[in-house]
Chains A and B, each alone.
Chain A
Amino acid sequence: MFEQFDALLLARIQFAFTVSFHFIFPSFSIGLASYLMVLEGLWLKTGKQLYLDLFKYWIKIFAVAFAMGVVSGIVMSYQFGTNWSVFSDKAGPVIGPLMAYEVLTAFFLEAGFLGVMLFGMNKVGKKLHFAATCMVALGTFISAFWILSVNSWMQTPVGHVMGANGQFLPGDSWFDIVFNPSFPYRLVHTLMATYLTTAFVVGGVGAWHLLKDRSNAHARKMFSMAMWMAVIVAPLQIFAGDMHGLNTLEHQPQKVMAMEGHYDSHPNGAPLILFGIPNSEEKRVDYAIEIPKASSLILKHDPNAPLAGLDTIPDDEEPPVGIVFWSFRIMVGIGFAMLGVGLWSLLARFRKRLYEWPGLHRAALVMAPSGFVAVIAGWITTEAGRQPYVIYGLLRTADAASPLDAPAVGASLLAFVLVYFAVFGAGILYILRLMGKSPQTGEPGAQHGDTGPIRTAGITPGPTQNLGRAEALPTDKEDV
């Protein structure tokens, strides 16, 4: 089996598959950790039971998503060595320390405080528990910081010198390596993407329960919070994406050429191709719908500015145009759709119909998974767009792979595909089941076991359940 395949192509498919699957979970859990921090903080500040209910509702979902993120993440930390050993050996002295910092400053922080966050509220008290939640949220942020620094260095490598043995070695300043030219843009763009992704999931769940019962107080609060995020963050994200694009134009022009579908140079202002079908054999975009000079206006802020095309790039240094062209349009399209839903919610708020407009709720429900699609599409744009290089301009992907035969890579790829779809498919199903139930007053937390005192609202309501003041809640039996 797999003998007739190309080992390099299989290794690339395997990395794309495992990293895409992996990133689904952090893109949700980074945002959700912050949301949980906000909910618990609001509960501590106001003492309102509603916030505690929402916290406990979402922490169960967080626990499942986080577990999937952890196990798929460990695969990534070994994938560099198993399938890209030449890359690991050559780039290890530069990116290895950054990844070690990610483990030391982020992974341990998240994992160390996660147990207390999930199961420890009645053991450590409310304040310390909130501190643990904050540490987990901080850990997800620090993790994003380091791993995006690594990715950005591979896109815009600076601050290194070449060793005699072919290794990339750190130069004079680690600051230059960590804060490489594309890093600030990528960090901001990615973090906002995780917040938007989470906001639309939360908003979608709120919308689902509003469609079933528009008086549902928990659903109203979720939906309102999510729509505020959408209307504030979506425009900021579009602006940050534009800045990121300008940075890419400066450092990785051929990626932008592929995104824009510019096979040809345009000395007198380049058109913005809204849609079309890139034809790489003929080197043109078929059936293109264009806005004249708009691309130059966006990228150069001058409608008549010249823009170089892929005709200025040697064929063996061109990225694949079709996939970059399409994934970019999917990402941008979803970004504007998110903005649209955000503005719609603002209109609904002014008309006092935020909770009484089923059309808006249906739109939010449809958009619930859109963040994941946009995030993956964005990563495909940037990763396919830097091909054929793995370290941009310096190390080709083809020269970075492990000395493995196609059957070994193919068999492991098949195993990953089967296991991931089965295991993570089940996990996503469990998450959807949790989301399908509405939050209750006195919502149970992430406690495990039929042996523990699970108190279900409606059947055996606790005596203090609806008092509203957090201090009135029994702390000896309250589990989170």
Chain B
Amino acid sequence: MDLTVIWAFIIAFAVFAYVVMDGFDLGIGILFPAFQVGSERDRAMNSIAPVWDGNETWLVLGGGGLMAAFPLAYAVILPATYPLIIAMLLGLVFRGVAFEYRWRDPNHRRFWDAAFTGGSLVAAMAQGMTLGALLQGIEVVDRAYAGSWFDWLTPYTLLTGLGTVAGYALLGATWLVWKLDGTGQAKARQLGKISALATILLMGAVSLYNLVLNAEYAERWMTAPEIYFAAPVPILTAIVAVALIRSLKAERHSKPFWLSLALFFFGMAGLGVTMWPYVVPPGVTIWDAAAPEKSQIFMLIGVAITLPLILAYTAWAYWVFRGKVGDEGYH
């Protein structure tokens, strides 16, 4: 297998890790107003306080890794979605500082709670719209973005944005079902059901839209022999979706979260099938954008050594803070 393909999978893994891990952080931010001021909100916040920073680091790996492995893609996508990226970054600023500030300034806790929600919502929407802008295609001439600076704003990108917001809310709600008990957990379960339905509907809508968006995408999904590889993805997605709804109704603790992760995994696999082999549709393939072999090898050595370690100590950090968040807290 050639190095460029390996790197495409590494970047896809980093993006997936970011989406699901910071996804539940951002989801909790989005759902925050639904929880009562006091113990419910404090516990929801404390359930992610020790891990959010590590989760967000995957975004830096996604961005930094893209620059290193596919510099042309990095240099095209970011100017093409400039206002979205700036909005996401500023949203993440508010979201990130709120973790500390709300405890340091009880008199303005309401304000920082609102910043936590607003920042999370803006970041989630901007990320979803960036994905949509990428899928709908970016005009590239002479190794540079050649479109105008509102190309990213279309009904399709609004749909992908909303889908991402709903999906993150689902991850956040199911995480809280796992980590909370009592009234907080009951509320999270209720929110989980709503966001699960919204996520499934929006995923379906985006999938159908993809078929009319680009003839090549439709061909990928609708003609033999590709359809034999592609068809299992929507079928498995549907099975996971049904199981997810049932696990929420059956009042399970951790199962809904794992099934939400599976839903995201198949959604991501579907995206992979749709985009392959382009990194910037409709014209730039992963080989067009790839860094030279020497850069790929140098980084691959680093990834091979550090990634297992990173996964190990990240797992350990989660293990340390396992279990329900009680009032004694780890704070």
Contacts and interface: CB of A to CB of B under 8 A. Distances in A.
B133 to A, nearest CB: 14
A92 B331 contact: no
B294 A99 contact: no
Interface stretch (B63-71, B178-186, B269-277): B63-71
Interface string B20-54: 00000000000000000001001101100111011
- Looking at A112, A119, A124, the one whose CB has the most chain B CB atoms below 10 A away is A112
A415 B330 CA distance: 36
Interface string A445-460: 0111111110000000
Nearest to B314: A112
B6 interface: no
B97 A167 contact: no
B54 A111 contact: yes
B68 A451 contact: no
Interface in B42-91: 42-43, 45-46, 49-51, 53-54, 56-57, 59-61, 63-65, 67-69, 71-72, 74-79, 82-83, 85-86, 89-90
Contact of B39 (A112, A448, A451): A451
Interface in B274-315: 291-292, 294-295, 298-299, 302-303, 306-307, 310, 313-314
A279 to B, nearest CB: 39
Nearest to A75: B89
B85 A92 contact: no
Contacts of B49: 115, 118-119, 448
A86 interface: yes
Given A74-B92, A75-B93, A81-B77, A92 B71 contact: yes
Contacts of B92: 71, 74
Interface stretch (B195-203, B220-228, B230-238, B321-329): B321-329
Contact of A85 (B53, B65, B75, B299): B75
A118 B49 CA distance: 10
A86 B89 contact: no
Contact of A408 (B43, B50, B105, B149): B149
B328 A453 contact: yes
B263 to A, nearest CB: 26
B61 A402 contact: no
Given A81-B78, A423-B93, A124 B328 contact: no
A430 interface: yes
B208 interface: no
A101 B146 CA distance: 31
- Looking at B49, B60, B317, the one whose CB has the most chain A CB atoms below 10 A away is B60
Given A170-B292, A452-B328, A100 B65 contact: yes
B276 to A, nearest CB: 22
Nearest to A446: B331
Given A85-B144, A112-B314, A78 B327 contact: no
Contact of A64 (B69, B90, B100): B100
B51 A115 contact: yes
B295 A115 contact: no
A426 interface: yes
Interface in A302-339: none
Contact of B57 (A96, A108, A404, A433): A108
A295 B46 CA distance: 58
A134 to B, nearest CB: 13
Contacts of B64: 77, 96, 99-100, 102-103
Given A93-B71, A93-B295, A111 B144 contact: no
B300 to A, nearest CB: 10
B302 A101 contact: yes
A397 interface: no
Interface size class of A (residues with CB under 8 A): 35 or more
A423 B94 contact: yes
A80 B144 CA distance: 14
Contacts, number: 264
Interface in A393-423: 402-405, 408, 412, 415-416, 419-420, 423
A448 B45 contact: yes
B96 interface: yes
A89 interface: yes
A96 B42 contact: no
Contacts of B43: 451
A403 B89 contact: no
A451 B47 CA distance: 14
Given A81-B75, A100-B302, A170 B295 contact: yes
A97 B294 CA distance: 10
A70 B92 CA distance: 10
B217 interface: no
Interface string B166-197: 00000000000000000000000000000000
A466 interface: no
Contacts of A99: 64, 67-68
A63 interface: yes
Nearest to B112: A426
Interface of A: 63-64, 67-68, 70-75, 77-78, 80-82, 85-86, 88-94, 96-97, 99-105, 107-116, 118-120, 122-124, 163, 165, 167, 169-170, 174, 402-405, 408, 412, 415-416, 419-420, 423, 426-427, 430, 433-434, 446-453, 479
5 contacts: A111-B54, A114-B50, A116-B317, A169-B295, A408-B83
Given A74-B60, A88-B67, A427-B101, 17 more contacts: A85-B144, A92-B67, A96-B69, A97-B68, A97-B291, A108-B310, A112-B54, A112-B313, A115-B321, A123-B330, A124-B320, A403-B144, A404-B82, A448-B331, A449-B329, A451-B329, A479-B331
The 9 closest A-B pairs by CB, nearest first: A92-B71, A115-B50, A96-B68, A81-B78, A89-B75, A448-B331, A71-B96, A447-B331, A85-B75
